[in-house]
Amino acid sequence: MTFLTFLEPSQLFQTIVLALSIFNLVTFLWLAITVWLNGDRRAWIARLGVVGLSFSAFFFYVHTLLIASPLVHISEHGQDFLWRLLWLPAICVPFIWLAIGLHYAALISQNWRRRRPALLVSSGILGCFLLVMLILHQSTFTFLGTIRLLAYGDLYDDTRAGLFSATVLLPVLFLCYVTFCALGPWFTPGRMSRVLRAFGGFIRRNVAQEMKAPEQVSDDEVDDKKKKRGLRRILSAAFWDDPTDVELLQEPILSWHLARPGLLLAAFLMVGLTTILGAVSIWSIIDWFEYRNHGALPAPLPLDSIPLHLLVLDTLAMGVVALIILLVGYSIVRHGVLIERPLARRGFFEQWRGIVIVATTVAIFIVLLVDFTHSTLGSLLLITSLATGVYALFTWSSYTAHDRYIALLGPFIRSTNLRHWLNTDVQKTEKGLEDLFFHLCKDVLAVKCARMTVMVGSVRRVFSYRWPLVAKDQSMYGAP
């Protein structure tokens, strides 16, 4: 391939889509292996998370193979086989997302424990129905048929399609299914009514204040900033109706509490992406019905490659998924969701930056190698997957250092025994223990906040540490 051919719009967008798809594959696979190696494998939620992340990696492995080659270079049976392989992760991953979100939400709120069975059963029934309908109508939902539908509004493979046919209903049901699974752990009628009441009360109070003193409307910028901060706090308090004292929370509730704003944004991105794709599908179907009703169906167009506007749409979709991965990966690596045990959060986050950089570099290298040397993409993806597993093992070895440091805490605590407290100056011992504890938290464990309670007879001391404002927030509390 020449450089001028590479710069053609269709080729350039296909290269970008391939790079994003490979990036998604590498990051999802690394996250799956990392959760398995570092998480509590006895916890079912950790195993479920590994399954969901593995399904996502498998989805992008198949997606990369599907869009890599021109449509004429792959047999139709091979395309349809790969296309049908995508159906299982496309149905299972949203359900796993819902199950994980409901699990953590139920740890905080008793109301979510009551709602969880009904939500899981209803979404499971809808997902199984969609999968069965896709299998029964697999001759209709082929890979080339889907490309023609999205590109040209072409339903020639299903000339008897009506308004309530599977061709029309399944895309709509899939849109509803993904939306329900993505937003299920977040939105309830009671929560939305609280948010609306809080917003209405905020508006009424502001209107009443302005009507009382309209002449005192100066310093507009300061007042606007205060109002925005006040509105954000009010809406946040109404939406997150659970304990917010971070230092009193324990794992895994602490992980979910810290990670849920990013995961909520990921859910919105997921719904937005599905809505765009569903709207394109429904719009294409409506156009086809209009053509058929007017008796002016256009001649079918041959397909030797994916049309440019579909490549642009796929680029947008892969970019949104990459943002979702960054948010999900941040929640797993930074906050410990699915890991189900305490982490050295700052050091763990540094490894996430490393895998993002490595995945980006690998994706760009592979697509350029395929474009300019015509190397076999399947073998390159297999080698990349194996290398990702090796890299995950390498990063896991660095994470185990945190566990070794935790193991060293035993002698550290036992060194301050009862005899040591009774036979030495208490204030001097407290000062030495406080300095050692802060050094351990900052330089060894690399944690953001920590608390240690020492109880010896009637003496009780609580040491609190917070980073980075160590000088201001270090404190020691005593109790008789």
Instruction: Please tell me the predicted confidence (pLDDT) of residue 240.
Output: 72
User: How far is it, in rounded angstroms, from Cα 40 to Cα 341?
Assistant: 7
**What is the pLDDT, as a whole number, of residue 153?**
61
Q: Phi-psi bin for 111: left (phi > 0), alpha (psi -120 to 50), beta?
A: alpha
Which residues fall within 8 angstroms of residue 306, CB to CB, at 6 or more apart?
A: 14, 67, 71, 147, 151, 314
CATH code (residue 250):
1.20.1070
Boundary residue ending a domain (400, 418, 437): 400
Which residue in 2, 12, 38 sits closest to 393, CA to CA? Answer: 38
Q: What is the pLDDT of residue 344?
A: 57
Identify whether 432 is part of a domain: yes
Model pLDDT, residue 55: 96
Where residue 465 falls among pLDDT bands split at 50, 70, 90?
Answer: confident
Q: Read off the pLDDT of each residue in 105-115 and give the average, rounded to a whole number.
A: 83
Q: Do 392 and 428 sit in the same domain of this protein?
A: no
Task: Calculate mean pLDDT across residues 357-378.
Answer: 90
Residue range of the domain that includes 18: 3-199+240-400
Q: pLDDT for 55-94, tens place per residue? A: 999 999 999 998 887 655 566 677 888 889 999 999 999 9
Q: Which of 45-59, 244-258, 329-343 has the lowest mean pLDDT?
A: 244-258
Q: What is the pLDDT of residue 473?
A: 44
Does a structural domain hold residue 216? Answer: no
For 171-223, the pLDDT digits (tens) are 888 888 999 999 888 877 777 777 788 888 878 787 777 666 555 544 454 45
Residues 161 and 304 reside in one and the same domain: yes
Residue 229 in any domain: the answer is no
pLDDT above 90 covers what percent of the chain?
25
Q: Is residue 471 over pLDDT 50?
A: no
Percent of the chain with pLDDT over 70: 71
Choice among 71-80, 331-340, 406-415 with the minimum mean pLDDT: 406-415
Q: Assess whether 450 and 327 both reside in one domain.
A: no
User: Do 300 and 444 belong together in one domain?
Assistant: no
Which distant-in-sequence residues (6+ apart) come within 8 Å of 316 by Cβ?
A: 276
Query: pLDDT value at position 478?
Result: 43
Same domain membership, residue 419 and residue 350: no
What integer pLDDT is reported at residue 211 of this predicted model? 67
Residues 16 and 60 in one domain: yes
- Predicted pLDDT at 384: 93
List Cβ neighbours of 381 (8 Å cut-off, separation of 6 or more).
Answer: 22, 25, 61, 64, 65, 366
pLDDT above 90 for 428: no
371: tokens are 């474009």
pLDDT digits over 236-276, tens only? 777 776 655 666 677 777 788 888 888 989 999 998 998 88
Rounded to an integer, the average pLDDT of 283-304 is 61
Would 206 be classed as within a structural domain? Answer: no
- Give pLDDT, residue 292: 59
Once rounded to an integer, what is the mean pLDDT over residues 114-126?
A: 92
Token pair of 322 as six digits: 């990459």
In the chain, how many domains are there? 2
Nearest CA-CA partner of 14 in 386, 314, 375, 336: 314
Q: Which pLDDT score, from 0 to 100, does residue 155 have?
A: 58
Considering only residues 123 and 431, tell me which one the structure prediction assigns the higher pLDDT: 123
Q: Is the pLDDT of residue 390 over 80?
A: yes
Q: How far apart are CA 141 and CA 155, in angstroms?
A: 10
Which pLDDT belongs to residue 446? 66
Please name the amino acid found at residue 310: L
Q: Which of 78-92, 107-121, 433-447 has the lowest mean pLDDT?
A: 433-447
Mark whether 445 and 354 lie in a shared domain.
no
> Does the pLDDT value for residue 479 go beyond 50?
no
Q: pTM for the complete prediction?
A: 0.77
69 and 179 assigned to the same domain:
yes
Q: Are residues 312 and 416 in the same domain?
A: no
CA distance 87 to 134: 8
Cα gap 131→151, rounded to integer Å: 24
Residues 38 and 84 in one domain: yes
Please give the full DSSP string across 197-241, using - where no structure is assigned. Answer: HHHHHHHHHHHHHHHH-GGG---HHHHHHHHHHHHHHHHHHHH--
Same domain, residue pair 276 and 301: yes
